[in-house]
Amino acid sequence: MDLSSLPGLGPKRLEKLNKSGLSTIADLLYNIPRTYLDQTKVSKIAELHDGDRAVVIGIITRAGIVKGRMSRFMAVLTDGTAEISLLFFRGTRFIANRVKPGTRWLVSGTVGSYRGLQLVHPDMQPFDEGEAFNGQILPVYPISEVCREAKMEQRFFRNLYKTIFNFPGLTLPNACPRELTDYLHFAPVMDNLRTLHMPKDFDSIYKAKRELKILELLPFCLRMVKRRENQKIRGHERQIDLGNVMAAKARLPFQLTAGQDAALNTIIDGLNGKKQFHALLQGDVGCGKTVVAMLAIMAVCGAGEQCALMVPTDILARQHFKSLKPFFDAAGIRVHLLVGATPAAEKKVILGELQMGLCNVVIGTHALFSKDVFFAKLGLVIIDEQHRFGVSQREALLAKGDYPDMLVMSATPIPRSLAMTLYGDLKVISIKEKPAGRKPIKTRLVNAAKRESMKQFICKEAAGGNLCYWIASRVNADGSDNADESSARSVDDIVNEMRSFIAAFGHTDANIAKLKVAGVHGQMDDTQRDEIIKRFAAGEIQILVATTVIEVGVNVPAANLMVIDQPDRFGLAQLHQLRGRVGRGNQEAWCFLMTPEGEAAETSMERLSQFAATEDGFEIAELDLKTRGAGNLEGNEQSGAWVFRWFDWIHDQELISQTLERAEHILKDGSAFNETAKEKIQTWYNEKPSANEDGVH
């Protein structure tokens, strides 16, 4: 059934619904009410208090539009016990034509108090003299501004759903099969949606919502449980060479922390097992995950197998290759670097050695999962900064071996609720300590009015040899970015701003006059960007203005200062990743957050203050989940795998373990379903759409 077949929906309204993301009957059905008005009992105005949710019936005694800076419609309603003001700031002319003195109304909303009790934008229904009160529960829908423009308000949607549910043979595409809802003792999906749109009581509303949330989470849990079961029948036994690992540990110029040692032991145990080992190694920026990964590689190579370490950027691949190669060389392990820029002749040699088993370890980028890359015996795949890779890319690399083991690494700790579901088939290993000698990074919020003082401080520090990052949220100054970002300073803006400042104040200090400022961002040529970062690391550039392109894989121990412009534009986890670029040596490091102005300041100050108060990445991940939602954990807006229509990662956490348990029962209880039902259920949970499928892989 098409939307255009519904009465009351002409071309203009259909266009507005489309703009609001409501283009099909299914979209409308899934657009469940955001809350409900309880009109089952009437209150007396004299008994109301500020904050009460109330339903009152009374007569309008005064009404009219009040002119001023913000025109508003105001009416006074009395029920014989007291009076209450009704206020409307939108649609004032429409309201004024309906709400006249002497008319009787049923009014509901939340009571406020300003020079007496008032209801702002209450729900109003005409109530004739002598009409019996028929209490009901009214759904309240989320309504976009474009829908309001076409006069599609609450009453319109309530009537629309009554029409939809009267259509015979109403069905939903991709709904949970009836055989599965019956097995779970749930109502069919359509029945639950009918309950939410046409409610009879609050108990049934609660039950319907709960069942829909579980059914939304269930496909992810079913896929995760199935992957976990598959790992038990895959993989192979190997003889780990612990001598290789112990010798490499002895060559390290430092001792592993207790957290690194515990993580390494867990990984070695997993690699020694008979079943396929998939693990997530998570830990704060700078906790030493890379050295643990290197020692795991030593163990697998000692057993005669090959390893691949995949990273998201060329600069990070080169950095890992440079720092790890001496240890591999000392152990007699042959290692190569394979990136997009690898010359053709050199690449041909590397590919040949990998295929013949002459190369033990390859470190690279997306080039590793190219079709022309073959391994003689790939035993372990390690993926650094795992969220930067798509599921197909990870699968392409894993497919190059006979069910190799996999270790994915993340400097953005995963909140427990996500770890149980989307990452539930991975052994979660955490490192919570930082290497000895690392000092805490001090984070301070700086008022926008002190920008000039901030620039002066940064220049003085840079002139003394303390390198600085200045982070921007936009790339260009030419207005080519989104219009809503036009107020944000770009990389170009800040580079020019700092150069002008240095030119103006350089005559008072010769060292400041010598300062060099450069900018980098993701739209630059890789070679040009890498060259600027190399010059910054060498101290030839003292102030590096950058976007989040430096969030991963830039290691400059001499950089101990960071300024972040418009920090409200970033997720807390992403701010934490950025902050982790400083304090990588043994010097004290500082991170300054230039606080936003106006409305942005009001909405983000609490969040930024919480961030400034802690360096604990695990705490920050939970805060980010609470304040921005699961789709923003990596700092970028995402949809699909982590973002649900009804299930909420914070408020519905108690449903996770219950849904996991249900998923295990469904997959084990094969006798409960015939072959046709099994096929329908498997198709449903395998085809459930999501942005990055089922999380990690």
The band of 634, judged by pLDDT with boundaries at 50, 70 and 90, is: very low
Do 458 and 563 touch, CB atoms closer than 8 A? yes
Between residues 289 and 396, which one has the greater pLDDT? 289
Give the pLDDT score at 421. 66
Compute the distance between CA of residue 53 and CA of residue 75 in angstroms, rounded to an integer. Answer: 19
Averaged pLDDT, 210-228: 90
Averaged pLDDT, 19-30: 92
Q: Over 80: is that where the pLDDT of 131 sits?
A: no
Give the pLDDT score at 42. 87
Q: Which two tokens stand for residue 518?
A: 């450069």
Q: Which of 290-304, 408-422, 544-558, 637-651 has the lowest mean pLDDT?
A: 637-651
Do 509 and 534 touch, CB atoms closer than 8 A? no
Distance from chain centroid for Cα 645? 14
Give the pLDDT score at 585. 76
Instruction: Tell me what percent of the residues of the chain surpass a pLDDT of 70.
Output: 90
Between residues 538 and 691, which one has the greater pLDDT? 538
Q: Over 50: is that where the pLDDT of 689 sits?
A: no
Do 469 and 561 touch, CB atoms closer than 8 A? yes
The band of 680, judged by pLDDT with boundaries at 50, 70 and 90, is: very high
Distance from chain centroid for Cα 395? 22
The band of 340, judged by pLDDT with boundaries at 50, 70 and 90, is: confident
Q: Over 70: is that where the pLDDT of 602 sits?
A: no
Number of neighbouring beta carbons within 10 Å of residue 633:
24
The band of 234, judged by pLDDT with boundaries at 50, 70 and 90, is: confident
Residue 120 burial by Cβ neighbours in a 10 Å radius (0-12, 13-18, 19+): middle
Do 290 and 343 touch, CB atoms closer than 8 A? no
Q: Which residues contact 266 (CB under 8 A, 6 or more apart)?
A: 279, 427, 429
Do 477 and 497 touch, CB atoms closer than 8 A? no
Give the pLDDT score at 241. 80
Give the pLDDT score at 639. 35
Give the pLDDT score at 132. 65
For the chain, which residues make up each domain, given as ranges?
Answer: 1-39+137-169, 41-134, 174-233+652-690, 242-431, 441-477+487-614
Q: Which two tokens stand for residue 290?
A: 């890379």
Predicted confidence (pLDDT) per residue in 140-172, tens digit: 888 888 888 888 888 889 999 999 999 888 889
The band of 177, judged by pLDDT with boundaries at 50, 70 and 90, is: very high
The residue with tokens 């010598």 is 514
Q: Which of 43-57, 563-577, 588-602, 652-666 has the lowest mean pLDDT?
A: 588-602
Instruction: Tell me what percent of the residues of the chain surpass a pLDDT of 90.
Output: 46
Give the pLDDT score at 287. 82
Q: Name the average pLDDT for the chain.
A: 86
Q: Which two tokens stand for residue 288?
A: 């030493």
Compute the distance between CA of residue 302 and CA of residue 300 in angstroms, rounded to an integer. Answer: 5
Q: Is 380 helix (H, G, I), strand (E, B) or coil?
A: strand
Predicted confidence (pLDDT) per residue in 505-543, tens digit: 877 788 889 999 999 988 888 788 888 988 999 999 999
Give the pLDDT score at 387. 61
Residue 275 burial by Cβ neighbours in a 10 Å radius (0-12, 13-18, 19+): middle
The band of 666, judged by pLDDT with boundaries at 50, 70 and 90, is: very high
Q: Which of 291-300, 439-448, 611-620 has the lowest mean pLDDT?
A: 611-620
Compute the distance between CA of residue 20 and CA of residue 146 in angstroms, rounded to an integer. Answer: 7
Averaged pLDDT, 209-219: 94
Name the CATH superfamily housing domain 41-134.
Nucleic acid-binding proteins (2.40.50.140)
Averaged pLDDT, 444-473: 93
CATH 3.30.830.10 fits 242-431, yes or no: no
Give the pLDDT score at 483. 41
113, 91, 6, 108: which is closest to 57 by C-alpha? 108
Alpha helix ranges (H) inside 366-447:
391-398, 416-421
The band of 482, judged by pLDDT with boundaries at 50, 70 and 90, is: very low
Q: Over 90: is that where the pLDDT of 398 sits?
A: no
Between residues 213 and 148, which one has the greater pLDDT? 213
Residue 93 burial by Cβ neighbours in a 10 Å radius (0-12, 13-18, 19+): exposed
Between residues 692 and 121, which one has the greater pLDDT? 121
Predicted confidence (pLDDT) per residue in 239-289, tens digit: 888 888 999 999 998 899 999 999 999 999 999 878 889 898 988 777 889
Averaged pLDDT, 567-574: 86
Matching fold, domains 41-134 and 441-477+487-614: no
Q: Which range scores top for mean pLDDT: 226-235, 356-365, 470-479?
A: 356-365
Compute the distance between CA of residue 76 and CA of residue 271 in angstroms, rounded to an integer. Answer: 75
Averaged pLDDT, 32-38: 86
Predicted confidence (pLDDT) per residue in 487-502, tens digit: 678 999 999 999 999 9
CA separation, residue 36 to residues 56, 125, 243, 353 (Å): 16, 15, 66, 67
Do 65 and 92 touch, CB atoms closer than 8 A? yes
CATH entry, 441-477+487-614, from 3.40.190.10, 3.40.50.300, 3.30.70.260, 3.20.20.80: 3.40.50.300
Compute the distance between CA of residue 92 and CA of residue 72 in angstroms, rounded to an integer. Answer: 6
Q: Which two tokens stand for residue 331?
A: 């152990």
Q: Which two tokens stand for residue 658?
A: 């219950």
Averaged pLDDT, 120-130: 81
pTM: 0.70
Q: Which range scores top for mean pLDDT: 152-161, 354-363, 612-621?
A: 354-363
Containing H/E element for 175?
A: none
Q: Over 80: is that where the pLDDT of 437 sits?
A: no
